[in-house]
């Protein structure tokens, strides 16, 4: 038995210290330094079989490495596949984070039940009967899903050797503990060591592993920041528990784009894939309302039509308010300054509130023109005609600038029944014989004259 050694870790950021101090010098948090016992012991590999063949890695010339496309596991969930970049890569480690009660366990159990591959769902938070009750609501008939309630990693690996699954789901990484570390489950040392063992298992056996991670009150994944560096993909499951829609986005992805977006609707029978996001993001109002405009945006490879709402009113308390939900507040101030300087609209003494419906945040500059149209519509209290949408960036000189992938945006607007779309005159449009009326504009004044 090796000598027992104690070290001090910050429970917030994972920084290690030789002795206890009151404030962490890295994240500046108080009273987060705790003592943990680290026992130095010779570690065995995840595979306890003594007959296991040890793989020796040798340097290989880059021209000799095969570049054949690796087959991915199809999850039978188009939204999940899209965010991952086409499916689960064998041997990859995926970390899924989100607020409590948002639906992380439901999403992964749903994938495990519908997969055609053998799946081992390991839960350290719920009993087998609780998981069975949820499974009966989602997908009662499944022969390929195995449920295990265990928190000790050594026991989990023994069951993995018996079942030999094609996919392993761990719910959650904060509940696991290993014999090689004597600190409590959920501590910095336990999370780091348990994740390292799972990575070793995933890479040696080419079995993908999905981890559920708790988040802190700040919205970051709980545990050391090194956890996000160790895994291959970090997914964030977002949404308000008071609403039925959930958004899955990628924060890090070694095998695909981080710009993709997946949208789900929470129902009693699980999460429904929303293949047409515009049904979520555009309200079905029969009345003509001022202050609303439709923008054609692109998230990753997917075109979306989103509704932008603006409210312009006279400031009551002297200093006007500028508030934006789902849109960059600094960019809103910039666009208001452009309206004031270039188009002559006096908005300096008025409150401006902006909201992107559906609870999503958009960084695409192509929604600038729709934001300005919504603000002008609310200011003059004149509704924009139905069937009109916008796709253009606005410059500081008041010019309408071109945006990327304009053909895809126009086709999406046409598919959803829009009759006109305002785009930049400098955009190169390759489409011909389209039923939608493409309005080419070069300045804000052209838009104002045409709309109002």
> What's the distance, Cα to Cα, between the start and end of the chain in Å?
82
Known binding-site residues for ATP equal: 98-105
- Distance from C-alpha of 393 to C-alpha of 400, rounded to nearest angstrom: 6
The answer for 190, left when phi > 0, alpha when psi is -120 to 50, beta otherwise, is alpha
Length of the chain: 452
Q: Which tokens hold the place of 53? A: 């063949």
- Omega of the bond prior to 360 within 30 degrees of 0, cis? no
Known binding-site residues equal: 98-105
130 closest CA partner among 152, 105, 113: 105
- Distance from C-alpha of 30 to C-alpha of 212, rounded to nearest angstrom: 27
């Amino acid at each position: 038995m090796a000598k027992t050694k104690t070290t001090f870790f910050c429970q917030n950021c994972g920084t290690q210290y030789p002795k206890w101090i009151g404030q962490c010098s890295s994240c500046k948090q108080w009273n987060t330094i705790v003592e943990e016992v680290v026992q130095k012991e010779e570690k065995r590999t995840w595979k306890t079989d003594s007959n296991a063949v040890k793989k020796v890695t040798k340097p290989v010339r880059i021209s000799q490495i095969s570049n054949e496309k690796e087959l991915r596991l199809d999850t039978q969930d188009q939204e999940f596949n899209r965010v991952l970049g086409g499916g689960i890569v064998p041997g990859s480690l995926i970390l899924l984070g989100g607020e409590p009660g948002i639906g992380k366990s439901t999403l992964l159990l749903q994938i495990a039940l519908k997969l055609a591959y053998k799946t081992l769902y390991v839960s350290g938070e719920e009993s087998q009967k609780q998981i069975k009750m949820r499974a009966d609501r989602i997908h009662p008939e499944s022969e390929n899903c195995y449920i295990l309630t265990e928190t000790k990693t050594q026991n989990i690996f023994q069951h993995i050797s018996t079942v030999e699954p094609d996919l392993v789901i761990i719910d959650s990484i904060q509940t696991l503990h290993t014999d090689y570390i004597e600190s409590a489950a959920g501590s910095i040392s336990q999370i780091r060591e348990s994740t390292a063992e799972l990575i070793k298992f995933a890479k040696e056996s080419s079995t993908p592993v999905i981890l559920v991670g708790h988040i802190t009150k700040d919205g970051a994944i709980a545990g050391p920041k090194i956890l996000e560096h160790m895994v291959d993909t970090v997914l964030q499951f977002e949404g308000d528990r008071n609403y039925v829609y959930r958004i899955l986005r990628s924060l890090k992805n070694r095998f695909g784009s981080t710009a993709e977006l997946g949208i789900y609707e929470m129902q009693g029978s699980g999460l429904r894939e929303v293949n047409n996001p515009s049904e979520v993001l555009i309200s079905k109002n029969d009345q003509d309302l001022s202050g609303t405009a439709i923008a054609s945006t692109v998230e990753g490879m997917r075109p979306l039509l989103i509704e932008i709402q603006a409210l312009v009113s006279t400031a009551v308390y002297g200093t006007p308010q500028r508030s934006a939900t789902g849109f960059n507040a600094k960019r809103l101030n910039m666009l208001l300054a452009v309206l004031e300087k270039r188009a002559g609209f006096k908005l300096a003494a008025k409150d401006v509130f902006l909201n992107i419906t559906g609870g999503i945040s958009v960084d695409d500059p192509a929604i600038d023109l729709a934001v300005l149209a919504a603000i002008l519509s609310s200011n003059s209290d004149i509704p924009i005609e139905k069937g009109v949408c916008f796709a253009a960036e606005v410059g500081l000189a008041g010019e309408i600038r071109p945006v990327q992938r304009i053909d895809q945006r126009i086709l999406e607007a046409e598919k959803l029944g829009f009759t006109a779309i305002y785009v930049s005159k400098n955009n190169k449009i390759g489409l011909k014989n389209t039923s939608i009326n493409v309005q080419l504009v070069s300045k804000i004044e052209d838009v104002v004259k045409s709309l109002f």
